[in-house]
Amino acid sequence: MAAFKSNDAPFAERPSTFRGYKWTNWEDCGFSDRVNHAMSSAGGSAYALGGFSGRGKSIRTNESWNDLGDVPLDVQRFDTDSSTWERIYPPKEVEIHIPSTTNSRIDCPPLDYSEFISGRYAHSCIYYRGKLYMYGGRNDYRFFLNVDCFDIESRKWSVLKTSQDNVPLGRYAHGCTLRGSIMFVQGGTMLDPSSHQSLRYTDTLLSCNLETGQWQIEPVEPILNEENSPLQVLKRDFHSVVYTNGRIVVFGGKCYFPNQDDDGFYEYLFGTSRWAKIDTAGYQPPGRRSLQGITYGQKSIIYFGGFSTRKKIFYSDLFILDTDTRHVLKVIPYGLGPCPRRRVGMCLIGSDVIICGGVGRNQSKEKHDHSLLTFGDTYSLHLLPSLQHLCIESIIKYQLPVEILPVSIKQHIYTLSNEECSDSQPLSGDLYSND
């Protein structure tokens, strides 16, 4: 199950689908169900910040999701050695109630949370030099504009001291990525500065130097149509913004124009200060919002999940964009992966993609049950499989005999061979023979 290499074949001959990698699932690992949280990796661990929860119960209306009072933001840490989550902030002796999508705000506990960072959703988080930098997001009462810093070692919050020039208005559902010491923020939804009541999309590309605290509005040449008029294709929220290979790549989101499900990839080249649409080949992923994308290696971006506004469909597809070749590859991993969902947390630890939480359709067998469900499960996608797994894949592929193998290995072969193809030829030998 060696990773697919896009340069192994001429461009026109490269496949659009790749069978490889492997899912591992931890359903009861201590992660409280939530959606719209931010996630980042640091020092071999994954960190999830904030969001809101349905406490594992079905929710019927999107309107109920806005029920997020001014309660503390919690920080959860995933230990890859023990495969468990633990809350590391606020301190465990502080009782908090994660905002619920099923209860009203008057149910929040009457505790004084003024000394803690406020809870929020649709914010962003990146890791830089021992700290998690969190920007934006909102709750029932405010939009956030500070850059808050969480020191992983001391487990304390501070606020990045920023210059007064070009400090942006608070926003949520934006995209955020890191290039060196510079945090870039693109798009999102913000309060209209003319009314301070209505909301509006933005396509501004902002940068914040995490060393100096200096905000800057990046120069951008607009994308022009055939009549040389600027297109507003990058006014969107709940999209993916990833820096890799010397460029910022945007995909997905709820778009202001031309429609709500734009399926185009766009890149910002620093040398030209210009956005351009990427002409891709291979798998053509449907447009969607509320997906996640992370950089992998020097030039690739891995995407997962999302939701189509027009089709009302949740996605669980996994695909990779090679920013050098412009080739998109749909990946079909082994094992049981996440059900279709949106607004998950996602990050990369070594060669493992960690995905947790999100919201999707209730998997109830009732025919007319269209309720939604927030998830508290965690998945790991192994991008570099073990030697044992590579050997098992070769046994399946070449139909090698398995009589002398241990029962546990035979069971693993049986599971993977059934996932590979339900109508494939049986393997040579009895899988459960001890002879």
Q: What is the pLDDT of residue 27?
A: 77
Nearest to 223 by CA among 213, 215, 231: 231
* Residues 359, 404 share a domain: no
Count of structural domains within the chain: 2
Would 276 be classed as within a structural domain? yes
Nearest to 263 by CA among 214, 217, 210, 306: 306
Of 9 and 214, the one with more pLDDT: 214
Q: Which two tokens stand for residue 310?
A: 């027009």
CA angle at 229 for the pair 223 and 230, rounded to the nearest 5°: 35
Nearest to 137 by CA among 170, 108, 163, 91: 170
* Residues 434, 343 share a domain: no
* Residues 394, 376 share a domain: no
Q: What is the mean pLDDT of residues 181-195?
A: 91
* Residues 395, 336 share a domain: no
Would 283 be classed as within a structural domain? yes
**Range from 105-114, 168-177, 394-403 that averages highest in pLDDT:** 168-177
Q: Which residues pair with 53 in a beta bridge?
A: 100
Handedness of CA 153, 154, 156, 160 (dihedral sign): negative
* Residues 200, 73 share a domain: yes
Is residue 203 predicted with pLDDT exceeding 90?
A: yes
Q: What is the pLDDT of residue 196?
A: 66
pLDDT tens, 137-163?
Answer: 998 888 999 999 999 999 999 999 998
Q: Give the separation between CA 217 and CA 166, rounded to whole angstroms.
A: 7
Would 295 be classed as within a structural domain? yes
* Residues 398, 373 share a domain: no
Would 3 be classed as within a structural domain? no
Nearest to 297 by CA among 272, 277, 324: 324
* Residues 66, 87 share a domain: yes
Q: Give the separation between CA 34 and CA 166, rounded to whole angstroms.
A: 33
Burial of residue 109 (number of CB atoms within 10 Å: 0-12, 13-18, 19+): exposed
* Residues 297, 412 share a domain: no
Would 6 be classed as within a structural domain? no
For residues 90 and 96, the answer to whether their CB atoms sit within 8 Å is yes
Task: Indicate the residue among 385, 404, 421 that finishes a domain.
Answer: 385
Backbone φ, ψ for residue 189 (5° rounding): -120, 135
Would 7 be classed as within a structural domain? no
The three-state secondary structure class of 314 is strand
Q: Give the separation between CA 272 and CA 246, rounded to whole angstroms.
A: 12
* Residues 412, 363 share a domain: no
For residues 339 and 360, the answer to whether their CB atoms sit within 8 Å is yes
Tell how strand 75-79 and strand 45-49 pair up.
antiparallel
Would 22 be classed as within a structural domain? yes
Is residue 289 predicted with pLDDT exceeding 50?
A: yes
Of 116 and 254, the one with more pLDDT: 254
* Amino acid letter, 91: P
Q: Which CATH number goes with the domain that contains 242?
A: 2.120.10.80
Q: Which residues pair with 249 in a beta bridge?
A: 242, 267
pLDDT tens, 48-59?
Answer: 999 988 654 444
Mean of the per-residue pLDDT values of the chain: 83
* Residues 410, 305 share a domain: no
Would 104 be classed as within a structural domain? yes
Of the listed ranges 99-108, 217-226, 284-293, 339-348, the least confidently predicted one is: 99-108
Largest CA distance in the chain: 80
pLDDT tens, 327-371?
Answer: 999 999 988 899 999 999 999 999 999 999 999 998 766 666 668
* Residues 265, 394 share a domain: no
- pTM listed for this prediction: 0.83
Of the listed ranges 180-189, 209-218, 407-416, the least confidently predicted one is: 407-416
* Residues 331, 406 share a domain: no
Which residues form the domain of 271? 15-385
Label residues 36-50 b or e (16+ Cβ within 10 Å = b).
Answer: bbbbbbbeebbbbbb
> Does a cis peptide bond (omega within 30 degrees of 0) precede residue 99?
no
Q: What is the pLDDT of residue 157?
A: 94
Q: Which two tokens stand for residue 318?
A: 């996994």
